[in-house]
Structure 1
């Protein structure tokens, strides 16, 4: 999927360099185990684990976190994994996982830090919502940590509202949900 509209037409364009304004964001399904997807998943886990622990995660900790993490479910018909590219360069990822009939979970949403603030996070979120709809979901849910302030702001800016916990785990502190049917009609 290509982000529609010229970068200069988006609010984030004021923060972009001239070179950034001619680049294009694309979001496409990719197998979770390709070299590109695997590298992005490692970087994602390293980023969130390091911020949680307040120190760089070790290679062993990243390996342990990725072991049996259920990423194989992010393939149709149970889910979808997307890679975000900026000017053709892989710079982010995200996934959706069907939890039950009509409900999908947003997971592993990530952009490399140097590519944040260029309009990609909003576009990636929209592409993941489209992927969830294509899988039959009518509602998206997610869980995150309270310290991930920027991620929480992204979700609420795009219509996600706090909901009761639908799952539990050591890194789950707040839960959000959004009706995808109503969002698509806007």
Structure 2
């Protein structure tokens, strides 16, 4: 039986389990879009508390993590959520929702009043999650993004 409340653990962005999940995320995005940002290009310090946080989600505490996500401040009041990923076999268990709720709570506690994030047009489950959590579309906040592929969203906290 699956625990309705997954175990969330705070880890450094360069933790081996985080790297494993982010390699899977990168491979999935590359297969969907033909390219993807390389998670290794992001400095680990970007997600270091108190200006950020990176989480792993475990279905049960003693099992390998099956999902991840993080936030970091991009200015004194705006946080960005990045690297949200749930392994395909763990989808449908509300792990993304639990991660998103915790990330928002932590960002708010750290002084953020707004959250930005970006996903791709083909990530329909992610888009549905973000819309159900109150996120709405905004123009891209990153230079060079393809508006036919990338979707930028925001939420006031």
TM-score with structure 1 setting the length: 0.74
User: Over alpha carbons, which structure has the higher Rg?
Assistant: 1
* Aligned 1:24-43 pairs, distance under 5 A: 24-43=5-24
Q: Within 2, Cα distance between the matches of 1:46 and 1:31?
A: 21
Q: 1:152-173, CA deviations, whole angstroms, 9 ceiling, x for partnerless residues?
A: 1110011001112222244662
Q: Within 2, Cα distance between the matches of 1:123 and 1:134?
A: 17
Contact 2:118-2:151 at 8 Å conserved across structures? yes
Aligned to 1:114: 89
Q: 1:55-104, CA deviations, whole angstroms, 9 ceiling, x for partnerless residues?
A: xx8xxxx9x92342334301123311111111122111001010101100
Tell me the number of residue pairs that the alignment of Structure 1 and Structure 2 aligns.
Answer: 153
**Worse overlay, 66-75 or 130-139:** 66-75
Contact 1:76-1:135 at 8 Å conserved across structures? no
More helix by share: 1
In structure 2, the gaps of 5 or more residues are none
* Aligned 1:1-186 pairs, distance under 5 A: 19-20=1-2, 22=3, 24-53=5-34, 65-88=38-61, 89=63, 90-170=65-145, 173-180=150-157
Runs ≥4 in structure 1, deviation > 6 angstroms? none
> Cα RMSD between the aligned structures?
2.1
Q: Within 2, Cα distance between the matches of 1:152 and 1:105?
A: 16
Cα 1:66–1:160 shift into 2, 3 Å: closer
Contact 1:106-1:140 at 8 Å conserved across structures? yes
